[in-house]
Chain A
């Protein structure tokens, strides 16, 4: 796979901009080196304003880099030809409200040089793929956000591009909508497409990506498989149970890093196995053991660690 020309390659990609004539230039991207291999689902991770959308806009021809290179399947992005190979869905895609879903797809198909007969077939196929067959002849002004998002995916792949770039595809969706979009991404990948999508919703990337890159303040902090990025060591052991008397509860809590009582259940976090086993035995013998598991670094922990942001101690309860 690696000896092939990658789907996306950027070299020292930089972009700066000025809000006003008298203002100093701001650096949105700072020497970004990125390689997305063919056939991957690649997550582009970063906080708001990290430079994700700028990178994507350069890749799809909406912006021009101020320095560096960007190629799609070996073709420089300045060459309009590479847009035949890209399907792009912007963040919160906007459409012509007066068109129906079918008319809208027909319009985009025509822009991609699809003949009328093929467009008709493709429109039905795509509306079915994104689950909008029932709403095919509904005007887009009546569409919900989730429906727009799914139509956004449909218009992106109308010309069967080998690379699909999605900017925050799950942004603002409810759990049902997110699941539908996730499934659409997996289906597209199963159909042979390379998927590159940006998100700040870490669980989405964790769930479906083969590899991911983390960007912050325009700089690439890290890239690789999730196994490569995350610390695979066990960070802590969680033990949970019920039924201990006050003295035994105090005894196990004294050995724990954190403890939390929730709905009559005690949840304890330990940083060594001896203490965890001690607590587990206590619950087994004098109460009921409900939980015993190890906790590894999550993408969220990794994100906070890498970007130097302070982790909110959400797990800490009353001790």
Chain B
């Protein structure tokens, strides 16, 4: 573990110099500022909009950083041959991969902390103006603790995305890895909803046939019913990133429970660990 920490420290030094990090953080800040403008035109719901939008920005730009830096992290070591002097030392390959992961998470953690701090300032400003405007909205209040918890969960979401970036990065090129990781991020945002729709609202074949008066052609009905198991399969393989989205509850209520928070954290840790172990298995077979 000590060697992994040395590699993590080195990765931190490397990633903190990556210009793309600062570009993404800059655009995240611009987007958060834009949320103020969106809030102004949202007819009195400005505080809700700013809270909701800032957390969405944190999630999206956290994922972007994970994709852009994480996907090329291993490839860069191989391409620049810096890996030669490390793997030929008494270092296990899993230690190398874990070190790279921890180092990058430290950088992303700091970047997200910075973005969350900026979001706090924006939200506090909007909450203050709401109470101090001529038409004071005394109902305007922010659940600060839960707002911070929602931000923390997004760090866990980024942990999952980085672990996937490293998994894909250990088997494919950086470009493919970035595409796969980002696609997984997008699918992960909706997979729970899609699966829920298919498992809850799609009635049995016979019922559909009955309801529609046998209008469905055989082909349509087969496609229709095939989607259900496929969506379930995707749900269990790809991460369910909706676990990490507390923003609707934080903004609109009902307030989430601590159990929900901790189970989401446990899910994030478990999924990341599984993806990293798989990445280590692939990386162990890699030849340079």
Contacts and interface: CB of A to CB of B under 8 A. Distances in A.
B88 A83 contact: yes
Interface string A106-133: 0110111100000000000000000000
Contacts, number: 73
Given A57-B288, A111-B6, A80 B90 contact: yes
Nearest to A113: B90
Q: Select the residue from B7, B13, B85, B91 with max chain A CB neighbours within 10 A.
A: B85
Contacts of A88: 84-85, 88
Nearest to B9: A107
23 contacts: A62-B87, A62-B88, A62-B287, A63-B288, A83-B88, A88-B85, A89-B85, A93-B81, A93-B84, A93-B85, A94-B82, A94-B84, A96-B13, A98-B14, A111-B3, A111-B86, A111-B89, A111-B90, A112-B89, A152-B85, A156-B85, A159-B89, A159-B90
Pick the 10 closest A-B CB pairs, nearest first: A88-B88, A60-B88, A90-B84, A110-B6, A94-B81, A62-B288, A111-B89, A84-B90, A83-B90, A63-B287
B19 interface: no
Contacts of B199: none
A155 B85 contact: yes
Nearest to B79: A94
Contacts of A62: 84, 87-88, 287-288
Given A81-B90, A152-B85, 18 more contacts: A61-B88, A62-B88, A64-B287, A80-B92, A83-B89, A83-B90, A86-B88, A88-B88, A90-B84, A90-B85, A93-B84, A93-B85, A99-B10, A108-B85, A111-B3, A112-B89, A113-B90, A159-B90
Interface residues of B, number: 22
Interface string B257-288: 00000000000000000000000000000011
Nearest to B95: A111
Contact of A94 (B7, B80, B88, B91): B80
B222 interface: no
Q: Select the residue from B81, B84, B92 with max chain A CB neighbours within 10 A.
A: B84
A96 B82 contact: yes
B90 A107 contact: no
Contacts of B88: 60-62, 83, 86, 88, 90
A111 B91 CA distance: 7
B210 interface: no
Q: Select the residue from A81, A84, A98 with max chain B CB neighbours within 10 A.
A: A98
Interface string A66-95: 000000000000001101101011101111
Interface string B47-72: 00000000000000000000000000
B141 interface: no
A83 B92 CA distance: 10
Contacts of A61: 87-88
A97 to B, nearest CB: 9
Contacts of A80: 90, 92
A98 B13 CA distance: 8
Interface in A23-69: 57, 60-64
Contact of B82 (A63, A86, A95, A112): A95
B131 interface: no
Contacts of B6: 107, 110-111
Nearest to A58: B287
Contacts of B85: 88-90, 93-95, 108, 152, 155-156
Contacts of B89: 83, 108, 111-112, 159
A107 B12 CA distance: 13
Given A62-B287, A96-B14, A90 B81 contact: yes
Interface string B1-38: 01100110010011001000000000000000000000
Interface string A140-178: 000000000000100110010000000000000000000
A81 B82 CA distance: 21
